Amino acid sequence: MRIPFVLGPLLVLLGGIGTFVISLRTWYAVDLTKIPGGGALSAQVARSQGYATTANGWEPWGTFSDLLLFLVIAIAVFTGVAGLTNRRDNARLAFAAAVAGLLGIVLNGLHLISEPEPSELVTVRPVAWLSVVFCGLVLLGGGRWFDTLAIHHLGKKH
């Protein structure tokens, strides 16, 4: 009977860790060859000067967005670990995990839909969409955990 209580926090923890790992991967690539009338030269200059033509999930959006992403990851990891260790019956942790997952889906989804400027030159790498999937795992785990607690507490009252 222990498995239902472990599954939710485990999904939350795996989703938080997955979101962190994916956030460090390359999400965006700039194709300088798309610049009209000098794209090849621009690409050559960028390579020779060591200019970055890629960005991960932390780089293009600024401090506020980075803080929100950090908060999503931190809440997911903290609540997942707490749920797996000794606070499985805390509905607030389950709810916080679900809210963090939802926030992560919205935040990362918006970042991927409205890519950095100049959007004509920027492509979103498919791996970036895994951030939305992992935040979905946090939401799913938090919801599963919360439901398991509700069913367990209802069963005790009868």
Which pLDDT tens digit goes with each residue over 99-142? 999 999 999 999 888 877 767 778 889 999 999 999 999 999 99
Q: Compute the average pLDDT of residues 26-40.
A: 74
DSSP letter at 115 equals: P
Task: Tell me the C-alpha distance between 77 and 99, whole Å.
Answer: 13
Q: pTM of the predicted model, to two decimals?
A: 0.82
Let me know: does 100 contact 75? Beta carbons within 8 Å.
yes
pLDDT(1) > 50? no
% the chain with pLDDT above 70: 78
Distance separating alpha carbons of residues 2 and 4, to the nearest angstrom: 6
Name the amino acid, one letter, at 107. Answer: L
Instruction: Supply the pLDDT for residue 31.
Output: 76
Instruction: Identify the pLDDT of residue 94.
Output: 92
155 burial level (CB within 10 Å; 0-12, 13-18, 19+): exposed
DSSP string for 73-105? HHHHHHHHHHHHHT-TT-HHHHHHHHHHHHHHH
Q: Determine the pLDDT at residue 98.
A: 96
